[in-house]
Amino acid sequence: MNNADVAWMLISTALVLLMTPALAFFYGGLVRSKNALNTMMMSFISLGFAGVAWALLGYSLAFAPGTSLVGGLGFSLLKGVTLDPQGTIPHVLFMAFQGTFAVITAALISGAIVERMRFSAYIAFITLWVLAVYAPVAHWVWGGGWLATMGALDFAGGTVVHVNAAAAALVAALVVGPRFDHGRQAMLPHNVPFVLLGAGLLWFGWFGFNAGSALAANGIAGLAFTNTMLAPMATLVVWTLLDVIRTGRVTAVGGATAIVVGLVAITPAAGYISPVSSLMLGGIAAIPSYFAIQFRARTRLDDSLDVVAAHGVGGMVGALLTGVFADQAWSGAANGLVGGNAGQIGIQAAGIAAALVYSSVMTFVLLKLIGLVLPLRAASRDEALGLDVSDHGEEAYAEGDGAILIGPDLAPSVMAATAVTTEGGRA
């Protein structure tokens, strides 16, 4: 083992773990105040249920020796996951680092179904999804599965994390259905500073996400670190110009979204392309995601926080552009189109298609199975009141003495809110 690599991976694991609370702030600021806590808890709860599922079985399905489709049970219950080296770091640390990826991938899905999915059903869904969807797809790319054998490039999770989660988010939004007031009233972010804070913390944590995926304190980590800095900068510039041309204004929410899109897009390419190419990739990625958000707003799809446009479109663009800009001189991996290897784009597209189809189908099956046992959708009365109160018995911004629940019954002030709601969910 190498002590420098161990130290870097300890830091990287902590950075990626921080990304889930950061996502909670990013998502939490984008919803109405009556659902702020519920939305944030959808991220925080993944730290528990998805994390434990990963440790007990998910890690084995992703990284234990198995078939080309899924890992075996050799590492279940963390059997054999010890201090012995996995490369130049302890095996147990490698498991922990990979676990932080599973946690945030599951949490990403919540952005498409906030403000209306029942919390208990959501917990059941992300727990099963980590095992049935995330772990097999991770095995395909990082665990020696069929996409790895084919030569697919995904440095830190453009396909495994972002395309995978976005496909699940799209299906979940369709199965759960739109919010009852979707398209009938403006549903504006209740706390834009939270959104900016979340985006900033996500960028900070993403240095561990991408540079940590080198699994060593080496030159590739330095390259991934630099590209993770540069690509979102370019995305932010192009996004800002698009905003100015289209509306004459530069919004804070748009700027925060641009940063996330740039981070998503550089994720699959971070350790494979040059810094100049990362600037180009980040700038290009802004365009399809920007217009995908505009298009979605004109449809009946209630992807509440635009998971599909930001993570799905951004992840697909990043994965395809990895096949364009991959540079063997920088990474030692395969060249892309610019280096004379046009076939790499086809391999990247195959990986995207496989993740989209598998995640979509399995997500639909899981939600339908869970729906046989637990209601997926919150009651209309609870949705009108806000899921903070109905699912958690709390308010993000309590008034007066903050009393909300009296035994199993709602306090009179909250009962009054069930008839007429205004912005923020208060009568």
Q: Is the pLDDT of residue 259 over 70?
A: yes
The length of the chain in residues reads 427
Q: Is the pLDDT of residue 213 over 80?
A: yes
Summarize pLDDT for 218-258 with one digit per residue, the tens.
Answer: 999 999 999 999 999 999 999 999 999 999 999 999 999 99
- What CA–CA distance (Å, rounded) separates 335 from 93? 31
Q: Are residues 389 and 305 in the same domain?
A: no
The pLDDT of residue 186? 74
Q: Are residues 217 and 132 in the same domain?
A: yes
Mean pLDDT taken over the chain: 93
Using CA atoms of 187, 190, 196, 197 in order, give the dihedral in degrees to the nearest 10.
-140
The pLDDT of residue 422? 35
- What CA–CA distance (Å, rounded) separates 96 from 23? 19
- What CA–CA distance (Å, rounded) separates 250 from 240? 6
Q: Is the pLDDT of residue 427 over 60?
A: no
Structural domain includes residue 426: no
Q: Are residues 225 and 206 in the same domain?
A: yes
Summarize pLDDT for 324-371 with one digit per residue, the tens.
Answer: 999 999 999 999 999 999 999 999 999 999 999 999 999 999 999 999
The pLDDT of residue 426? 31
Return the bridge partners of 86, or none.
Answer: 89
Summarize pLDDT for 62-78 with one digit per residue, the tens.
Answer: 999 999 999 999 999 99
33: tokens are: 């105040």
Is residue 75 within 8 Å of 62, Cβ to Cβ?
A: no
Q: Are residues 139 and 243 in the same domain?
A: yes
- What CA–CA distance (Å, rounded) separates 25 from 39? 9
The pLDDT of residue 419? 36
Structural domain includes residue 186: yes
Q: Are residues 297 and 391 in the same domain?
A: no
369: tokens are: 């199975």
The pLDDT of residue 187? 85
Structural domain includes residue 168: yes
Structural domain includes residue 290: yes
Lowest model confidence (mean pLDDT) among 113-117, 292-296, 351-355, 406-410: 406-410
Summarize pLDDT for 34-59 with one digit per residue, the tens.
Answer: 999 999 999 999 999 999 999 999 99
- What CA–CA distance (Å, rounded) separates 23 from 30? 11
Return the bridge partners of 409, or none.
Answer: 406
Q: Are residues 154 and 269 in the same domain?
A: yes
Q: Are residues 339 and 412 in the same domain?
A: no
The pLDDT of residue 97? 98
Task: Give the number of domains in the chain.
Answer: 2
- State which of 332, 351, 371 marks the end of a domain: 371
Return the bridge partners of 85, or none.
Answer: 90
Q: Are residues 259 and 391 in the same domain?
A: no
Instruction: Using DSSP, state whether 278 is helix, strand or coil.
Output: helix
Whose tokens are 């209306």? That residue is: 116
Averaged pLDDT, 11-28? 98
Summarize pLDDT for 137-171 with one digit per residue, the tens.
Answer: 999 999 999 999 999 999 999 999 999 999 999 99
Structural domain includes residue 425: no
Structural domain includes residue 376: no
Full residue range of the structural domain in which residue 87 is found: 3-371
Contacts of 86 (CB under 8 A, 6+ apart): 93, 94
Q: Are residues 111 and 213 in the same domain?
A: yes
Could you tell me where the beta strands, DSSP code E, fall in 88-152? 89-90
Is residue 192 within 8 Å of 253, Cβ to Cβ?
A: yes
Q: Are residues 359 and 389 in the same domain?
A: no
Q: Are residues 412 and 355 in the same domain?
A: no
- State which of 333, 349, 371 marks the end of a domain: 371
The pLDDT of residue 410? 43
